[in-house]
Chains A and B, each alone.
Chain A
Amino acid sequence: MRLMHTKLPEFIQKMYNAVGRAKGDKTLQISGLESLHSAKMQSLRTGRIENAVEEIANDENVANVELKVLPRIPETMHTVLVKGKDADGKTTKIILEVINIIHPTEETEFDGCTDIEDRRPRIGLH
């Protein structure tokens, strides 16, 4: 089962390790995972991303690597918990709601770059 999923901290560590393996003294910034506290990441996909990070880091023109995680579907549906807590911190009431959030797609992050290699499978072919 260890191969089926990767823990969130392991995912992050693997990305830093990938940059560390590359030649030179390069840095990595990760964003888009800030609101995740606990998560299981796809293991095989983690490996592919790790390879991509190392590949980019090994490019002699690259000084810094950015890894950004965006919603794959640009409208995400979320459950909202509204919790009431008493003075002792005990949860006394919860209301469940839903909210749909529309996000920009990846084009917003292209920065005018034209060398873009799309390695994602199409939706439904994961």
Chain B
Amino acid sequence: MKYKVIPEGKIDGKIIPVSVAFIDKKDIEAEGISEDDAIIKTAKEFDGPVAINVFDMDAVTTTSDGIVAEGAIVRMGAGDRGHVNKEFGILPMAEIEYSEERIKNEPHLKQWKKYYPGRKLYRGPDPSKKLIPVHNVVITGRTANNNSATEMMNIVTMDELIFPILGQLQCITHGDVLVGLTGEDISVGIGMTVAEEFGRVFPHPQFPAGSTAHNSGDKAKTLKKHIPCIVCDKKIIAALTIKAIEAGCIPARDIGCSPVVLSVARALGAPIAFERITYEAQAELDSIGCTREWMQVKLGLSKDEIIARADDLIPGAVGAKKFKADEIVFEREV
């Protein structure tokens, strides 16, 4: 069975606290084994901590700020020294049923309806099927694969890696990634969520577009500031955000008011639902320079110009170096 891996260690001086393995569901099916067995088999290849994510590249998923992307994690695992904890080491994500009612309740999913009809949608797990009370996490030994497999931690060294879904998808599709520190903009951005049932972080709709899950004022920007991250190239997130806006998603109403979303809307000159940005969310945005005055400037750039100038227009990782994903991801067989 084929799988890909970013080994534990360092990339450009940034600590990668656990190995991160990616398995395509189709490679598991070709092997004729279950997804659980594929995770257990892969874990045995590692003498140290490893997070193992199983992908369905025909399915779709959402980012925390509500952007829909192709390729979804359908099962997450955690291994350490060849072990996978029997009770806490593996967790499937829940398939989200399509309905018009759901599109109404979760308006960011109009992207799903418009661009990916008939495709399966996965985000986080069904809370009734997990044994760990709060976090959407799997744990074996030192390895914690958290927030539905987008934050990995070595619980003994306490080093952490922020690895958002778009960065992981680049690793699977031979794309481009940035390896850097999470910084202030992403620290604030990951709190600007949309309300979802069985979401990546929250099991039930909790923090709608325009609000902040962090509610931490000018301290929110410090949350993950010094933690390494692997994120997608900015042209990828710019293109997907433009696509979301073109599907009729209005920032702060249908999709989150993250600095990335606001930067793209501002560059396009697209409407922003200013009245829906809560006082608490605005306080966090103000602390990183996304003031109401800044948001109100309309650059009126074309789609192509925004994508071409994404490195300058879109905020993100700090001190980051760009890599072809294939430079840091290794293909292996077990």
Contacts and interface: CB of A to CB of B under 8 A. Distances in A.
Contacts of A112: 81
A104 B139 contact: yes
B153 A107 contact: no
A74 B85 CA distance: 11
Given A122-B87, A123-B87, A104 B142 contact: yes
Q: Is the interface of B mostly helix, strand, loop or mixed?
A: loop
User: Contact size class for A?
Assistant: 10 to 19
Given A107-B80, A110-B81, A110-B83, A123 B131 contact: yes
Contacts of B135: 75, 100, 102
B299 interface: no
A103 B155 contact: yes
Contact of A75 (B81, B134, B153): B134
Interface in B137-154: 137, 139-142, 144, 146, 153
A125 B146 CA distance: 26
A108 B85 CA distance: 11
A122 B85 CA distance: 12
A74 B139 contact: yes
Q: Is the interface of A mostly helix, strand, loop or mixed?
A: loop
Nearest to B81: A107
Interface of B: 80-81, 83, 85, 87-89, 131-135, 137, 139-142, 144, 146, 153, 155-156
Given A100-B134, A102-B139, A110-B141, 17 more contacts: A73-B133, A74-B88, A75-B133, A75-B139, A77-B133, A77-B134, A102-B135, A102-B137, A102-B146, A104-B139, A104-B142, A105-B85, A105-B140, A106-B85, A107-B80, A107-B83, A110-B83
13 contacts: A75-B132, A75-B137, A100-B133, A100-B135, A102-B153, A103-B139, A105-B141, A106-B141, A107-B81, A108-B80, A110-B83, A110-B141, A112-B81
